[in-house]
Amino acid sequence: MRYLLLTLWCVLMSFSAYALVAEATRPVETTPEKRDVHVLKIEGAIAPAYTDYLKRGITRAEHENAELVLIELNTPGGLLTSTRQMVSRIMTAKVPIVVYVTPSGAHAASAGTFILMSAHIAAMDEGTNVGAATPVQVASVPETKPKPEEESPKTAQETLEELLQNIRDPNAESLKEKAVEDTTAFIRSIADVRGRNAEWAEKAVTEADSLTAKEALEHNVIDILAVSRADLLKQIDGRVVKMKDGTERTLSTEGVRVVEHAPDFMTEFLALISDPNVAAILMMIGIYGLILEFYAPGTLVSGTIGAICLLLAFYAFSILPVTGLGAMLIVSGLIFMFAEVFIPSFGILGIAGIIALTIGLAVMFDGSELLGVGLEWQVILGIITSAGIFMGIGFLLLVKSVISKELKTGPESMIGKEAKVQEWDADKKSGYVFISGERWQAKAAEGEDPIGRDERVLVASVDDLILKVRKTTD
């Protein structure tokens, strides 16, 4: 019986082993795995916050083995250093990168041109444009055209432009030429790698040339003109792109799942305050807030707001290309202006402060490191105007304070104050009292009870430098 059971167990084990092997070797019908399309959105000036956002997005896509990364772009430009970092990350990505300028009315101006041309596939929506990639001047004041023979009064913009032309560094032109040459070489290298129109790319930098979406397609600046994201994914399905390591990848986007990774609040907030115009305004609000707190301490509201604004401005300045000359002139201008408030000089310090502030703002940022963004002349005028108004208000408050103090000085200011009797003649009802650190002659007020030495009295009135006093009610 024992041998029979052992034989049955061996037979069952044999059948089980055969079934497992058969199941393991049976061909299984599989469907190709669909990978995701990761969507990143960049809307606004190119700044370090967006650089970090793009780097994180591409790294996530690489780790998750995404089909591609789609960057939806709408930017007026930004920092050249951030642009270089973005372009470098795009061109070394291990997943295909598609840059799509969208929606209609959007643009890939200045820094956006570099980012668009660096993608494996460049696409634009209808009604968009690309180009104008010339490094901006330190203060982006639009150039004014020559006037006809008949001259008309100059506008505020023309006056500021003339002032900026006079105060700019005499080496500014040569520095600008070097910056343009460097930027031109940068965009040509991108165009050469991606097989795009290098001649137009150079014109975009040297001549600030721009193209519509249709013109960009005709000039081999982009690969696709798409009216929507779905249309774009349909058009790129089956396209072959060449990766950094030389391998080729065929895109499969039919029925693909789209995963959006929108920038978080902190990314958008840091990108906003990195704008040179916002940073300059934050700086001025911060300075005004602290001065108001020192002038009228106690509420802490203006001081707190001012401190926060200054910290945000310092963060922006730490990543923006701030020049040492501009920073020193701005600080000097503010010192002069507020010295005028506390040390009146009939406007000399105030005017010197406004001039220093104007020059400082004009040369505050290194224009060779900015693409398409800069300190707008409207912001400069606004800051100068507000500084003048603030200085004027401070001067009026100082005058009012001085007048008020003058009214409260002299013998009349002692009425109602308490004094101590030092000497007193009871018969003459007069003597001397000590008040506010001074010795004054005093007489008892009419109908007043007898007053003794060392008693506390109140000043009732003043008559020809003699104080009329009466006993305190205590």
Q: What is the tens place of the pLDDT at every residue in 312-322?
A: 988 888 888 88
Q: Is 69 a residue whose pLDDT tops 80?
A: yes
Question: Is 202 in contact with 214 (CB distance < 8 Å)?
Answer: no
- Over 50: is that where the pLDDT of 1 sits? no
**What count of other Cβ atoms lies within 10 Å of the Cβ of residue 108?**
35
What pLDDT shows up at residue 443? 87
pLDDT-derived band of residue 20, with 50, 70 and 90 as boundaries? very low
- For the segment 232-244, what is each residue's pLDDT rounded down to a tens digit? 999 999 999 999 9
Rounded distance, CA 362 to CA 160, Å? 10
**pLDDT above 70: percentage of residues in the chain:** 77
**Counting Cβ atoms within 10 Å, is residue 156 exposed (0-12), middle (13-18) or buried (19+)?**
exposed
Mean pLDDT of 98-125: 94
Say what the pLDDT of residue 64 is. Answer: 93
CA angle 259, 262, 264 (to 5 degrees): 140
Residue 430 predicted with pLDDT over 50? yes
pLDDT tens-digit map of 142-185: 444 444 444 555 555 555 555 555 545 555 566 567 778 888 99
More confident position, 408 or 270: 270
CA dist 168 to 158, 164, 172, 176, 395, Å? Answer: 15, 6, 7, 12, 32
Question: Do the Cβ atoms of 272 and 278 come closer than 8 Å?
Answer: yes
* C-alpha distances in Å from residue 60, one per residue of 36, 57, 86: 12, 5, 15
pLDDT for the residue numbered 453: 82
Mean pLDDT within 191-206 = 93
pTM of the model: 0.68
Closest by CA position to 310, among listed 293, 338, 289: 289
Please name each of the domains of the chain with its CATH number. Answer: 37-133+208-266 (3.90.226.10), 275-407 (no CATH), 411-471 (2.40.50.140)
Distance of CA 95 to the CA centre of its chain: 32
Confidence at residue 27, expressed as pLDDT on a 0 to 100 scale = 46
Higher per-residue confidence, 148 vs 413: 413
- At residue 48, does pLDDT exceed 60? yes
The pLDDT tens digits of the residues spanning 328-368 come to 888 888 788 777 766 766 667 778 888 888 888 888 877 66
Contact indicator for 226, 232 with CB cutoff of 8 Å: yes
b or e along 434-455 (b: 16 or more beta carbons within 10 Å of the residue's beta carbon)? Answer: ebeeeebebbbbeeeeebeeee
How much is the pLDDT for 406?
Answer: 53
Contacts of 97 (CB under 8 A, 6+ apart): 58, 68, 69, 71, 90, 118, 119, 120, 121
